[in-house]
Chains A and B, each alone.
Chain A
Amino acid sequence: MNVQTADILLQIATVLYFSSMAGYAGFLFNRKKAYQKTALYLISSAVLLHFISMAVYTLSTRYFPIQNLSQSLSVSAFALGFMFLFVQYKSDLKILGVFASALLSVIMGVALMIPEAPVEKNEIFKGFWFYSHILLIFTGEAALALGCGTGILYLLQEKGIKTKTPGFFFKRLPSLDFLDDVGYTCLTTGFALLTIGLVTGFIYAKAVWGRFWSWDIKELASVGTWLIYAALLHLRFYSGWRGRKSAIMTIIGFFIIIFTFIGVNLLIGGHHDTFTK
């Protein structure tokens, strides 16, 4: 077992992600269950291989594969795939696979294409708090990404019904209430994971740098993102921000996440920038 094996497994997983996307595209146009089933099998095996690849890498190098941008993207894709399978299992929102498989393919395509920066071994990227922080933040953001996906589906369905022109998506998408429910589940799950993830991050920071908060730009952006989602949930609870408004907010929220995740590191820097070199 070595890094090469991990790489090969990752490439196979990527091919499977792409084939799954093709299967979901077939499902979107033909609405045949066989397409969706095949695509789901493909994506499940891709996630499994992806996991094995990460395990192989970790065992052979003694480091979690999150040392540069390529690896970070790959981990985020894994988290997304894992979360998608979870949501699929929970809610059976089949059409969400179209969004998830496409996003996965894009992330993995980019991850494999960008030149890999040399990995610097840094002893501080280890330990329970570090791993919990990463795990929670990535799965949380994956859940919010799926929330964005359901939000897009909601807007597509809602537009058709509101303008009285039920078209291509009318038959293919489930009811508005159902999409709203799934979106809400993604939102609360993601928010909960994100919250604990941030807390573990602070604890980790205290252990490594001796302080919880260091006014780092990434810290600020993360807390900003968290506040936006907190506001969205609050509005939903107390002002009835459901349906369309909530869908738009989850989409905006996800774009802010992308900015926090990559944009901040690339444009500004900060003490998270190792992960996206």
Chain B
Amino acid sequence: MPDIILIGLNHKTAPVELREKLSLTSEETLLALDFLKKDQDIKEGLVISTCNRTEVLFIPESNHQTGNDQTEKIIEFIAGHKKMNSSEFKSALYIHKGDDAVRHLFRVASSLDSMMIGEPQILGQIKQAYRIAVENGGSGVLLNRLMHKSFSIAKKVRRETGIGDNAVSISYAAIELANKIFTDLSEKRVLLLGAGEMAELAVEHLLSNNVKEIVVANRTFKNAVALAEKFNGQAVTFEEREDALIHVDIIISSTGATDYVLTHDQVRRVMKKRHHRTLFFIDIAVPRDIDPKINSISNAYVYDIDDLKNIVESNIEQREKETVKAERLIDEAVLKFQKWLESLAVVPTIKALNDKITSIVEMECKKTLSGMKHLTKEDMEAIQRMTQAIASRTIHDPIRFLRNTGCHRDDSLYLNVTRQLFNLGGSDEE
């Protein structure tokens, strides 16, 4: 049975300086893939490199089952390419084999191994790594199957557990709240109080949600105009902010003021003028800009930076609870993959093929003979012998071909094809 080996380091085993050094650019990834392909002892290979991990996944030729030499060679290749001594990073490396390698890959794809558990980017990065390997002919039957399984388990984990459910960054938490207050953000206007960097960042997030209009108010009017121009919005003077409140729905405040820039009384006055339509205040300034008492006005909601942080923290806790469920799903998937791998061995395949043909012949023979009662017992036996002979002759050559392993060819490929051609189970996609 072919083995699967995964070598790598990630944010848990290596400090950021080391990860930076060993991270591979897309050209370097291609070089590494080329190296794997050229190596006679490596059958299939794939390289994953993101900001938090660098991993090489490969399958050694079946005559080199342990794969230790290849592992060494790959480590030396990377060390040589990065002009480092392999002892500098060897302690940070993990080497997983067989089931452990499969489990590790599934966990990575499902974002259980990420720095921020449940973050959605990793699956895309793995898919990209796989695509590059396919384009370069690095992956074959085994890795194709393994990678596709990792995509489907990742999707399953996302679908069936709450691992990606809750916002785990402050700006995302704010947008999630806005979406639970307003039906359609694209119809809402946003007022920015303060034109600093923080405001700019917040707006970039909101703009990706397509708000209707952005109004900027700033003490230095010039800066307000500059920022408003950048976002195709409108600038008002800081003194006009109370009037601006009448027409906006979301207020993001990040001024450097030491006192509240919007008070309870101001908002109460405004609320009447806007017929009590909902207002959502996001106060990311420290010290705070928005009087927290405003939250007690009906249809006004005030969230300051600490409120958002609290939500994010409880969401992270929630995610970690969901990982238990996810680990169980992954265990199941690993077992399934293991079963498929085992079915790829030569002997079970030949046996399954033989069983299938024999049972077909027996069944058909029985059906026909049961309608021919006029035949003698000897005739029937002769016919049975003949059909059996046809069956064994038919599969004789295919079986001989399968038995003749080695010879620089990819056995798993032919075994897999055989299983699919004859529908022998084990290789059919569920």
Contacts and interface: CB of A to CB of B under 8 A. Distances in A.
A177 B177 contact: no
Interface string B261-290: 000000000011011111000000000000
Given A176-B278, A240-B276, A162 B301 contact: yes
A175 B179 contact: yes
Contacts of A175: 179-183
Nearest to A237: B275
B180 A161 contact: yes
Interface string B248-268: 000000000000000000000
Interface of B: 165-166, 177, 179-183, 271-272, 274-278, 295, 298-299, 301, 303, 307, 310-311
A7 interface: no
24 contacts: A157-B180, A161-B180, A161-B181, A161-B301, A162-B295, A171-B165, A175-B180, A175-B181, A175-B183, A176-B180, A176-B182, A176-B278, A181-B183, A240-B272, A240-B275, A240-B277, A241-B276, A242-B277, A243-B276, A243-B278, A243-B298, A243-B299, A244-B299, A245-B298
Contacts of B276: 240-243
Given A164-B307, A175-B181, 15 more contacts: A161-B180, A161-B301, A162-B295, A164-B310, A164-B311, A170-B180, A171-B166, A175-B179, A175-B182, A176-B181, A177-B181, A177-B183, A240-B272, A241-B276, A242-B276
Contacts of B298: 243-245
Interface residues of A, number: 20
Interface string A162-203: 101010001101111110010000000000000000000000
Contacts, number: 53
Nearest to B273: A240
B311 to A, nearest CB: 6
Highest count of chain A CB atoms <10 Å: which of B165, B166, B181, B307: B181
Contacts of A241: 276
Nearest to A243: B299
A164 B180 CA distance: 12
* Residue from the set B180, B271, B278, B298 with the largest chain A CB neighbour count within 10 Å: B180
A166 B308 CA distance: 11
Nearest to A176: B181
Contact of B278 (A164, A170, A173, A177): A177
Interface of A: 157, 161-162, 164, 166, 170-171, 173-178, 181, 240-245
A157 B181 CA distance: 9
A166 B182 contact: no
A264 to B, nearest CB: 33
Contacts of B271: 240
Q: Which 6 A-B pairs have CB atoms at the shortest separation, nearest pair first?
A: A240-B276, A240-B275, A177-B183, A178-B183, A243-B299, A164-B307
A173 B180 CA distance: 8
A194 to B, nearest CB: 25
B163 to A, nearest CB: 13
Nearest to A178: B183
Contacts of A174: 180, 183
A102 B367 CA distance: 58
